[in-house]
């Protein structure tokens, strides 16, 4: 029987945003077994399923663009596979699209260069209780009072994008490092201004190098001289980045087929 690779586009919403990246992987692996879909295994002493997620979503973020590349032992009808999976996925996790990818095509994980995020920023004027920026989906700090509105946040975004450099302090395993975040921000604009928070849409570098949504939010707050009281993050889409041109996964899949057929015509084996 011939193998098959499916690229699933999943939604992670509601309670499911509280499932960590690793736990989400495990949850999907279990669902494949429940759905009776035979995931191919790696060789070796500790075989594991041939399965990868395009991006590691931070805990607390929701997403409509969780891409999973999964290699199956045998060919199944892609739509049928999606339906069977949706029967056995816990609340908040749903397959929304499925695309077949040629076996051996590069996994999306290795191609991702940018991601489009929605960020709901709850900002406050500084001066009340000083507090650390919370993690994604973090709890609000104490303190009341109206924060900046969409107009002010929009101005700050414009100012940020006009800067040649945006120094960002990143701490990793106790080591503090300063990097330039400016080239990692592709675009950013205010989408909505409703209630206590301002909704920003931003395209940020993802994969390697990457700018985390929470880091971007911190930069916005710092630039505006505000305090970030609450942050809620949602992933809209991921892309490959070709010298600034954003290519979405659907097109990457089509290109993979084109390459596959061209190689076949030229007589190459996969």
Binding stretches for other proteins (CB under 8 A): 15-16, 18-20, 22-24, 26-27, 29-34, 36, 38-39, 41, 45-47, 49, 59-60, 88-92, 137-140
Closest CA to 116 of 182, 166, 189: 189
Nearest approach in angstroms of CB 147 to other proteins is 17
Nearest approach in angstroms of CB 120 to other proteins is 12
Nearest approach in angstroms of CB 151 to other proteins is 25
List, in sequence order, every residue forming a beta bridge with 119; answer none if it has no partner. Answer: 200, 233
Q: Are 137 and 261 in contact (CB under 8 A)?
A: no
Q: Which is nearer to other proteins, 217 or 252 (CB)?
A: 217
Q: Which is nearer to other proteins, 36 or 194 (CB)?
A: 36
Q: Are 232 and 212 in contact (CB under 8 A)?
A: no
Nearest approach in angstroms of CB 32 to other proteins is 7
Q: Are 207 and 112 in contact (CB under 8 A)?
A: yes
Q: Are 51 and 133 in contact (CB under 8 A)?
A: no
The distance in angstroms from the start CA to the end CA of the chain is 16
Token readout for 162 is 């006009």
What percent of the residues of the chain are helix, what percent strand, and what percent coil, each to the nearest 5?
30, 35, 35
Write out the H or E segment, with its range, that includes residue 204: strand 197-205
Q: Which is nearer to other proteins, 22 or 169 (CB)?
A: 22
Q: Which is nearer to other proteins, 44 or 267 (CB)?
A: 44
Nearest approach in angstroms of CB 10 to other proteins is 15
Q: Which is nearer to other proteins, 44 or 164 (CB)?
A: 44
Nearest approach in angstroms of CB 58 to other proteins is 12
Q: Which is nearer to other proteins, 139 or 250 (CB)?
A: 139
Write out the H or E segment, with its range, that includes residue 216: helix 213-224
């Amino acid at each position: 029987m011939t193998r098959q690779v499916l690229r699933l586009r999943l939604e992670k919403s509601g309670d499911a945003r509280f499932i960590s990246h690793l736990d989400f992987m495990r949850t999907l692996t279990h669902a494949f077994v429940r759905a009776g879909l035979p995931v191919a295994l790696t060789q070796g002493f500790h075989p594991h399923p041939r399965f990868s997620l395009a991006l590691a979503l931070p805990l607390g973020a929701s997403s409509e663009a969780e891409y999973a590349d999964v290699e199956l032992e045998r060919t199944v009808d892609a739509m049928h596979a999606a339906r069977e999976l949706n029967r056995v996925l816990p609340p908040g996790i749903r397959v929304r699209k499925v695309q077949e990818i040629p076996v051996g095509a590069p996994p999306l994980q290795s191609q991702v260069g940018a991601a489009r995020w929605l960020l709901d920023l709850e900002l406050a004027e500084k001066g009340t209780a000083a507090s650390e920026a919370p993690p994604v989906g973090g709890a609000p700090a104490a303190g009341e009072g109206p924060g900046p509105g969409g107009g002010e946040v929009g101005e700050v975004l414009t100012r940020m994008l006009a800067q040649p450099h945006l120094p960002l302090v990143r701490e990793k395993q106790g080591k503090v490092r300063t990097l330039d975040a400016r080239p990692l921000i592709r675009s950013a604009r205010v989408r909505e201004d409703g209630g206590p928070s301002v909704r920003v849409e931003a395209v940020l570098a993802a994969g390697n190098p990457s700018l985390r949504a929470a880091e971007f939010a911190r930069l916005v707050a710092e630039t505006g001289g505000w305090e970030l009281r609450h942050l809620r993050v949602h992933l809209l889409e991921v892309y490959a980045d070709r010298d600034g041109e954003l290519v979405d996964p659907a097109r990457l899949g089509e290109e993979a087929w084109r390459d596959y057929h061209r190689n076949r015509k030229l007589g190459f084996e996969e």
